[in-house]
Each structure stands twice: as C-alpha cells, then as structure tokens.
Amino acid sequence: MTCELLKHLTEERGSNLMLGFIIRPPHQLLSLLLCPGLRIPRLSVLCAQPRLRAMAVSSSSWELPLVAVCQVTSTPDKKQNFITCAELIREAARLGACLAFLPEAFDFIARNPEETLHLSEPLGGNLLGEYTQLARECGLWLSLGGFHERGQDWEQTQKIYNCHVILNNKGSVVATYRKTHLCDVEIPGQGPMHESNSTIPGPSLESPISTPAGKIGLAICYDMRFPELSLALVQAGAEILTYPSAFGSVTGPAHWEVLLRARAIESQCYVVAAAQCGRHHEKRASYGHSMVVDPWGTVVARCSEGPGLCLARIDLNYLRRLRQHLPVFQHRRPELYGHLSHPLS
C-alpha cells in the first residue's frame, strides 16, 4: 500500500521543524484505506509544526497516542447515522487510534423540536447499547459528542439533555457532561436556533477524565464561546478539550477555527473538535471542518469536505514543556480582575 509521504527535518533561525508527515492517499487507494462504500475524499494526517528548540522532541512520534476525529452528516434516520458512525469508528480502530471522537448530534438531527423529542432515548436505551458493543468490539474509547438524552426527569419536564458521553474500551460509561450553554440565537442568513425549546441546560461541569490520550475536559459546541469553562477545566487538570459541534454555515467560516485556536492557546491544551457537515435535511446544514489544534494554537489535523475522519498524535510531553516555558497560569493576577473561573470540586 503506497501513499505520498512527506518527511522533513529543517533548522533555521534558531527554531526546529519537528519530524512530521502528511499522508494523502491517491484517490484510487481510498477503497483500501477507508470504509467500503463510504465516500471520503481524503484522509489527512498533519503533524509537522514549528517547535522552539528547547521543546524539540527526541522520541518517535509513532509512539504517541493516536486519536481519530470523525465528521458526519446526521439526518433524522438514526439507523443510517449509526451505520455511518460505526464505519468510521471501525476504520479508526484499524488505523491504530486509541480514541475516536464523534460530533454533537451524532445520533440524529431532527427537523423540529417535536421530532427531536420523539427520537430521543435514555442513556440506557438501544442506541447507547449499540455503541457500548461497538467500543468493546473495536477495543476503542469513544467520545460521543452530543446524545439527545431523556434524563431521569423526562416524565416531569418532557425535555431532554444534550449529553456528551465517554465510553472506555470495555464499553462502560466513564463520564457524562450535559451541555450547560444552550444555543438560543438568531443569525441573519443562518436561520434561528432555539435549543432551549427542547433541551434543559446541564447543572454542572464534569471533572476531566483520564483516557489513553490524556485527561479530557468535556464541552459541547456553543460552550466554546465561554472561555471561563475551558479555564475551569484546565485548572482541574485537563490536557485535551473537546468541542463536538454542529456549527452553522454563517458562524462557521467566521468563528469556528478562530475560537478553537483561541481556546487551545489560552488553556495550553490540545483541542479536539469533531463536527457535523453538509445538509442534514431541508431546514439545516452544518459547516464541518473538524480539526485538532495543539497547545501552541497550530491546526495539526483537519478533515476535508464531506464525511470522513482525520488523525492526530497527542504529545503530552510537548504540552508540559510549553506550559513550563510559557507559565501563564502562574502569572494570573486575580486580585486585579477577579477569578474568571473557579476550580472544579
């Protein structure tokens, strides 16, 4: 199996460019590398990025944990959505990932609030059971980025939670976070979004969860507009922030990458953002551009157009060295501007 492999190690003006690679399989090899029957234009792995000389890495990048970021176009068809996601998850496992990230609303995107409520399930329902079995089958951790959850108060409220679920490689639920900032906005040219019509805001943040890739802080989509959340997560030990999303076609080009890179830089964390893409139905479309950003703010992996996945290696030694060389959390002056966030209990 051949692919274009670009390797380079250069040095100029006192800085190093780490050994990196870009893999772009030729179009005719996609059927060998990707899921049968799934139309994915390109699989890209980007790991080349500028590094300060003091932070040069001696160990091989192949030893670092590999994560997969999945991009899908959910519809109201829950069965087909699962088939698509399962193909990507199995491909992530075949490529050696230890953790796969799915976007917000991976289970479905409905046409209206009534359909959303009708299609929703409890965490103990059939759909999460299928993902539990899939995690065990693949031996893979899963970040299920936004499940339409009927909570314990469903009978009283007739509303749901937007729930980010982490499954370990045994299929056990090890963390859940219910979206705390609901997207009630009206953007000209994008159509109104009133998430609170069907959804209850979550009551609290979730402490970062240890995974094979690092300690993950959980968030969902609109949460990225609130830096206090990311600061609270990093103070609680997060090394990776996750923003599974379904950004719109107007806010996406303007804000998506800017916000993700800002959260990475200010928190000195990796940021992983799995995204919905394309047209879900006649009423809604999403921007896509799933990506991984490193703690320096460099986009180290991104998906191309359409459904697919991208891969990135997580270098926690690099993260720790960056925090050591640029110790912003030691330089904060809360006596001047107050505590913008409080550590999680």
Q: DSSP letters of 169-237?
A: TTS-EEEEEE-SS--EEEETTTEEEEGGGTBPPPSS----EEETTEEEEE--GGGGG-HHHHHHHHHTT
- In the annotation, is 179 catalytic? yes
Residue in 104, 121, 195, 239 annotated catalytic: 104
206 part of the active site: no
Options 221, 269, 303, 310, the catalytic residue: 221
* Chain centre distance of CA 84: 17
Q: Choose the catalytic residue: 179, 239, 269, 277.
A: 179
- Three-state DSSP class for residue 81: helix
Query: Annotated catalytic, 170?
Result: no
Task: Calculate the alpha carbon distances from 290 to 110, 334, 344 in Å.
Answer: 21, 34, 28
| Residue 340: both structure tokens together | 């913008």
Cβ neighbours for 179, distance < 8 A, ≥ 6 positions apart: 146, 161, 162, 163, 164, 199, 201, 202, 219, 220, 221, 222, 223
Q: What is the DSSP string of 305-345?
A: SSSEEEEEE--HHHHHHHHHHS-GGGS--HHHH--SS----
| Lookup result for tokens 């314990």 | 152
Q: What letter would DSSP give residue 45?
A: B
Cα(296)–Cα(246) distance, rounded to whole angstroms? 25
Q: How many CB atoms lie within 10 A of CB 28?
A: 7
Q: Which residues are catalytic?
A: 104, 179, 221
